């Protein structure tokens, strides 16, 4: 009950998220993989490897090396408000990044996945890219493709709450923090919004300051204003 009330997840979900967090921390410190697995709380290595993909989104060795040898396909394309980079891992769409410059978008991709293999889109991925663009070009942004959403338990809780904000409405960071049962975690909520890699699909642009002013959008306040203006318009 405490876990559900505090984090919004089941006890099993809390346990899994805690293991994943501890594993990331241990691997980031350079601990041997086997030691990191046990330190994270897995009863044995086989328990980890059965769920490795769901835990880290890649193998422990790849994670420790910044995604080394993991494959990330990407495509640069136009959308209604400029340029956009769409990226896909083996699990699904892992990044939707709006921008104005292809060079800046590619630099952001390398920052997010520093040691992964960055592969240009093939024909099948180009079809999915067109589906992504068609979705983000619409007011409601409805996307039915698999997503690869990687984040801490807290970040995922915030992102789930963001997806519950109706199109055409906004909430303040304080309201969002209260929604997830953490009214004092306003800064952490804002940080989780800023860590979102799936622009528009996870609508972090729908969060505003308490006074209604726009601020703190990862891809620029001007673009945030454009998105909110579009969503405020009633569909004919």
The secondary structure of the chain in percent helix, strand, coil, rounded to multiples of 5, reads 50, 15, 35
Which parts of 150-205 are beta strand (E)? 171-172
Q: What is the pLDDT of residue 83?
A: 97
Q: How many helices, marked H, and strands, marked E, lie in the chain?
A: 12, 6
Structural domain boundaries enclosing 52: 2-64
Q: What is the pLDDT of residue 7?
A: 43
Structure-block tokens of residue 54: 């769901």
What is the Cα–Cα distance from 12 to 55, expressed in whole angstroms?
13
Instruction: For residues 203 and 175, state if they share a domain.
Output: yes
Mean pLDDT per 10-residue interval, the chain, length 236 residues = 48 69 68 70 61 55 56 94 94 94 95 86 94 92 88 90 95 97 94 95 96 91 95 73
Instruction: For residues 121 and 172, state if they share a domain.
Output: no
Q: What is the pLDDT of residue 45?
A: 58
Instruction: For residues 170 and 209, state if they share a domain.
Output: yes
Answer yes or no: 84 catalytic: no
Q: What is the pLDDT of residue 40?
A: 74
Q: What is the pLDDT of residue 43?
A: 67
State the maximum Cα–Cα separation within the chain, in Å, rounded to a whole number: 59
Strand partners, 208: 172
**Burial class of residue 54, CB neighbours in 10 A (0-12, 13-18, 19+):** exposed
**Domain for residue 222, yes or no?**
yes
What is the rounded (10 degree) CA torsion for 18, 67, 88, 100?
Answer: 110
Tokens 């109706």 map to which residue?
Answer: 166
Pairing verdict, β 93-99 and 82-88: antiparallel
Q: What is the pLDDT of residue 51?
A: 55
Task: Catalytic residue, from 84, 94, 193, 204: name it.
Answer: 204
Q: How far is CA 178 from CA 64, 115, 139, 194, in A?
A: 35, 37, 27, 18
Last residue of a domain, one of 19, 35, 64: 64
Last residue of a domain, one of 14, 46, 64: 64
Q: What is the pTM of this model?
A: 0.73
Q: What is the pLDDT of residue 6?
A: 45
């Amino acid at each position: 009950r405490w876990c559900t009330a505090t984090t919004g997840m089941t006890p099993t979900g809390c346990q899994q998220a805690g293991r994943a967090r501890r594993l990331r921390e241990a691997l980031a410190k350079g601990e041997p993989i086997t030691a990191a697995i046990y330190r994270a709380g897995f009863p044995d290595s086989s328990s980890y490897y059965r769920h490795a993909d769901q835990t880290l989104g890649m193998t422990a060795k790849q994670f420790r090396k910044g995604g080394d040898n993991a494959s990330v396909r990407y495509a640069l394309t136009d959308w209604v408000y400029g340029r956009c980079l769409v990226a896909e891992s083996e699990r699904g769409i892992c990044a939707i990044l709006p921008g104005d410059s292809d060079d800046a978008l590619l630099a952001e991709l390398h920052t997010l996945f520093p040691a992964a293999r960055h592969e240009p889109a093939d024909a099948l991925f180009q079809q999915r890219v067109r589906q992504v663009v068609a979705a983000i070009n619409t007011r409601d942004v409805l996307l039915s493709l698999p997503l690869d959403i990687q984040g801490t338990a807290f970040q995922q809780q915030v992102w789930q709450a963001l997806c519950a904000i109706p199109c055409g409405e906004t909430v303040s960071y304080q309201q969002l923090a209260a929604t997830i049962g953490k009214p004092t975690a306003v800064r952490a909520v804002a940080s989780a919004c800023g860590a979102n890699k799936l622009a528009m699909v996870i609508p972090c642009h729908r969060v505003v300051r308490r006074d209604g002013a726009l601020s703190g959008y990862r891809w620029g306040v001007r673009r945030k204003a454009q998105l909110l203006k579009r969503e405020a318009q009633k569909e004919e």
